[in-house]
Amino acid sequence: MPNLTTKELSALSDQLDFERVLHCKYLSAAQDSQDQELKSKFQSCASLHLENYNTLLGHLR
């Protein structure tokens, strides 16, 4: 993989932050939800954003 520019690293860092925040928000919403169907959807979204986070992190290694 070619070296990333400072601007590209900054963009990846910002995206990592967004994915982490979204993961936490969906996880919190799932824990707070009483509706099982909604809880399941929130958990799926949380998992998706965790996968996105890990994928982006993998690009930095």
pLDDT digits (tens, 9 = 90+) for 1-55: 578 899 999 999 999 999 999 999 999 999 999 999 999 999 999 999 999 999 9
Per-residue pLDDT, 59:
83
Domain residue ranges in the chain: 6-60
Q: Which amino acid belongs to residue 61?
A: R
The alpha carbon of residue 21 and the mean position of all alpha carbons in its chain are separated, in whole angstroms, by 7
What's the pLDDT band for 60 if we cut at 50, 70, 90?
A: confident
pTM of this structure: 0.87
The alpha carbon of residue 50 and the mean position of all alpha carbons in its chain are separated, in whole angstroms, by 4
CA distances from 5 to 9, 10, 49 (A): 6, 9, 25
